[in-house]
Amino acid sequence: MANLNVLDLEGKQKGKIDIADNIVSQEANDEILHQEVRRYLAAGRSGTHKTKERSEVSGGGRKPWRQKGTGNARAGSNRSPLWRHGGITFGPKPRDYSFKLNRKVIRKSKLIALTEKFKNDRIIVVDRLDFEEPATKKAYEILVSLKISGEKVLLALDSAGSAAGKSFRNIPEVKVVSIKGLNTYDILIADYLFFTKKSLTDFIKGLGDERS
C-alpha cells in the first residue's frame, strides 16, 4: 500500500492517506499516453476552417473571351482555380476532428500519468480548503506555504465552482478542474497536482471503477 502525506494549509504534515498500489504503480506506456493526448486535443479543435470552391466565389457567368483567335489561353470562367480570386482546389472544409478511445484506455492513461507524478513527489494533498467566500490573496498565501507558488499547478476539487475554486482560478499559474473533468493531458503538463483529502479520495474511487 502506497501513501501520501496530508498537509495543513501551512505546509505541516497532519497525517497520511493510503493509496492502493495498482493506482500509482503503473508501467510507463508512451503509446497509450500519446493516444489519449491526441484524443483530448483533437476534441478541442473547432474544425471551422473553410475555403470557397469555384462554385462559391463571385464572378463567372460568361466566358471571358472567345475560344479562338485572341492569342490567350482558353478560358471558360474567371472562377477557375487558375485565376486570381478564383476558387480553391481541394481546400479545407469544416470537419469534426474528435475520435473515440476505449474507456479502459482512457482510464489507463490517467493511472500512468498519476503514477509519474507520484514517483516524482509532485502530488500535494491538504486536509481541506476552507473558503467562505472567494479570496485570491488567501489562495496565493496557501501556495506560498506549500512552496508551489510560481509553478504550474492543477487543482482538482469536487466542484470547480466552489469558493475555493474561484479563489485559485484567478492565479495565472493555477488551473482549477473538477475531479470528473480531470484528464491525462492536464495531469501531464502540470508541475504539481493539488488535491484536498476528500477530492483525492473521490478521484481514486472513480479510478477504481473500470467503467470510468
- Give the model confidence (pLDDT) of 94-135 as tens digits: 999 999 999 999 999 999 999 999 999 999 999 999 899 999
Q: Are residues 15 and 55 in the same domain?
A: no
At 60, list the grid cell.
Answer: 463567372
**What's the full length of the chain, in residues?**
212
Domain of residue 109: give its range.
2-46+98-208
Q: Are residues 60 and 127 in the same domain?
A: no
CA-CA distance, 204 to 126, in Å (whole number)?
15
Q: Are residues 15 and 77 in the same domain?
A: no
Q: Are residues 17 and 76 in the same domain?
A: no
Of the residues 68, 91, 114, which one is the last residue of a structural domain? 91
- End-to-end Cα, the chain, rounded Å: 22
CB 157 within 8 A of CB 118: no
Helix axes 103-119, 30-43, angle to 10 degrees: 110
For 52, phi then psi, to 5°, come to: -95, 135
At 55, list the grid cell.
Answer: 462554385
Mean pLDDT taken over the chain: 93
Q: How many domains does the chain have?
A: 2
pLDDT digits (tens, 9 = 90+) for 169-210: 999 999 999 999 999 999 999 999 999 999 999 999 888 755
Q: Is the pLDDT of residue 39 over 60?
A: yes
Of the residues 36, 68, 91, which one is the last residue of a structural domain? 91
Q: Are residues 109 and 158 in the same domain?
A: yes
CA-CA distance, 107 to 212, in Å (whole number)?
7
Q: Are residues 195 and 110 in the same domain?
A: yes
Of the residues 63, 91, 119, which one is the last residue of a structural domain? 91
Taking the CA atoms of 31, 114, 179 and 140 in sequence, report the sign of the dihedral they define: negative
pTM of the model: 0.83
Residue 128 sits in a domain of what CATH number? 3.40.1370.10
Predicted local distance difference test score (pLDDT) of residue 7:
95
> Residues 64-83: what's their mean pLDDT?
94
Q: Which helix (H) or strand (E) holds 117?
A: helix 103-119
Residue written as grid cell 470562367: 77
Q: Are residues 23 and 126 in the same domain?
A: yes
Q: Are residues 79 and 146 in the same domain?
A: no
Q: Are residues 184 and 118 in the same domain?
A: yes
CA-CA distance, 155 to 164, in Å (whole number)?
10
CB 188 within 8 A of CB 149: no
Q: Which distant-in-sequence residues (6+ apart) come within 8 Å of 104 by Cβ?
A: 210
